[in-house]
Amino acid sequence: MIALRSINIHTSFANMVQIDANILGMVTKIMQYFRPILSIRSPAKKFAKKHVNLGSLTTGMSMYWSSPMIVKLSNGTDIPLPQPITEKEGSWIVSAGYLAAIATNFLGGLLIDKIGRKYCIILVTIPRLFASVWTIFANEVWMLILCRAVMVLTDCYMFVAIPVYVSEIASKDHRGPLGTFLHISSCTGIVITLGVGPFLSYTVFNAILAGVIVITALPLPFLPDSPFYLYTKGRIDDSLTVLSKIRASDDIIKQEIEDYKSAKRVQINTLALFKDKIFLKSLSLGILICAGSNAIGYNAVSFYLQTILDSTKTSVQSEHASVVIGCIQLFAALCTSFFNNTFGRRPILIYTLAGLFLGMIGLGTFFELTSKENYIVTGFLNYLPIISLIVCTYCFNVGIGCLIFVVTAELFDGAARAIGVSICILVSLLIVFLTTNYFAEMAVKLGPSNTYWFFSAMCALVGTLIYFFIPETKGKTFSEIQIALGRKNNETEDKERQMS
């Protein structure tokens, strides 16, 4: 579609297929970046692109379910409920799952180490399917809240299990790109929800969601488990078998086994883990990334996207605007791989938070200017909210929204990764619950403009903290990242633990 700008419709057919050189150059560079992914040996490529990340496709569809469905439920449009929902009921439908996830997420982190990453992903698929089917027939508000709570709870757990699994399956050179496939797949699901959700009936859309969950679950039993998990459970031969299928050479396999040995030597119990200064440092930085990604308010804005667009009362139809924003989100996720390879994690996080700051300022400015009674929205103001939302959407998804899964998993070593990521996601869920459940109330009490300006201030704060405290993790092994955080060599560390 971008190429259409460089086509001269008055020229011959040959000229119609010419593409602007700058755009072509950018596309070529992006494709060159994906070349290492495409050259991964067949089993790893199938894993990365077709199997485990398919689960995040349904997660994206489910997470943005509220954008078109809350509007239908509020209007009483073709719904199984006897009457439209209230604003408070809508808030609980959106946020109840995050409250449930807070209570269960830590236990889920322990389960990852108990039964393995692969089987945790399979396990949560079962309640997801039941909840998605029940959503179609729920004729009471409490039923719908329960169904959505189960869906969101399992969505959140997928974002714990899949990043851990991906980070341990991928080599250090492919960890970032494969991690971003999680977000790309999720954004594809978001585009599906925003693209077809407003135009389909409540029943039809939820039936499609249930069907996609079934389809994406079918390949999961055939995936290999994490080679690191297999090694820590004493299944050395199984670990080597998996590594032989997903690594390019024997030298890489030997180096990885050495890393596994190092990680296994420093395994400690959960209580002792919280006495480890480097773990606590990693945990603090992980919480900064996870909590910060939600404290900036993007999730609250996106979950109520169509409702917000309706409230602007501009000439731009909310259904069409939400589709555009969904496509921008997917495009941003695709761009992340290119930018991540070119600039590294830290600069992307900082600059995209600056963009989010400007987008939130734009939203606040629009609602401040239009807050006067009988104010008529004309000219540029018609497009200011959607432009601001596009800026927020692009910057979030090309930056912290995508890298949250990669960077958080990278900050922890093998012995602490599952529990560390789980705690970080737990804090993140608490922030999501607060921002989504009280977003509507906050907008009423503070006013829309002050609400968005508050989120812009949070963008500035999180960006500043990342600038001063988050190390660069791109292209480093887990051991190198731990050393960058201050970890000493394993022998010295073991002696210090014995003395403590």
H, E, C per residue of 238-295 = HHHHHHHHHCCCHHHHHHHHHHHHHHHHCCCCHHHHCCCHHHHHHHHHHHHHHHHHHH
Q: Is the pLDDT of residue 284 over 50?
A: yes
Instruction: Out of 65-79, 265-279, 477-491, give the one with best mean pLDDT.
Output: 65-79
The pair of structure tokens assigned to 376 is 């008529």
The amino acid sitting at 260 is Y
Share the mean pLDDT of the chain.
77
Instruction: Out of 232-236, 248-252, 311-315, give the one with best mean pLDDT.
Output: 232-236
First to last CA, the chain: 63
Q: What is the pLDDT of residue 265?
A: 59
DSSP codes joined into one string, 109-143: HHHHHHH-HHHHHHHHHHHHHHHHHHHHH--SHHH
Q: What is the pLDDT of residue 178?
A: 65
Q: What is the pLDDT of residue 3?
A: 38
Residue with the larger pLDDT of the pair 397 and 36: 397
Q: What is the pLDDT of residue 455?
A: 92
Q: What is the pLDDT of residue 208?
A: 94
Tokens 């393995």 -> residue = 116
pLDDT digits (tens, 9 = 90+) for 348-390: 999 999 999 999 999 888 888 887 777 777 777 778 888 888 8
Residue with the larger pLDDT of the pair 35 and 445: 445
pLDDT digits (tens, 9 = 90+) for 41-94: 445 444 544 566 667 788 889 988 988 898 888 887 778 888 888 888 888 898
What percentage of the chain exceeds 90 in pLDDT?
A: 16
Provide the whole-model pTM. Answer: 0.68
Q: What is the pLDDT of residue 133?
A: 94
The rounded distance, in Å, linking the Cα atoms of 334 and 367 is: 31
Residue closest to 352 by CA, chosen among 289, 304, 395, 403: 395
Cβ atoms of 39 and 277 within 8 Å: the answer is no
Instruction: Out of 33-37, 71-75, 147-151, 333-337, give the one with best mean pLDDT.
Output: 147-151
The amino acid sitting at 171 is S
Residue with the larger pLDDT of the pair 11 and 425: 425
Tokens 């503070």 -> residue = 446
Give the pLDDT band of residue 29 (cuts 50, 70, 90): very low
Q: What is the pLDDT of residue 264?
A: 63
Q: Is the dihedral of CA 313, 316, 319, 322 positive or negative?
A: negative
Question: For residues 371-394, b (16+ Cβ closer than 10 Å) or e, as one string?
Answer: eeeeeebeeebbbbbbebbbbbbb
Out of 52-66, 163-177, 440-454, which region has the weakest mean confidence (pLDDT)?
Answer: 163-177
Cβ atoms of 226 and 116 within 8 Å: the answer is yes
Give the pLDDT band of residue 210 (cuts 50, 70, 90): very high
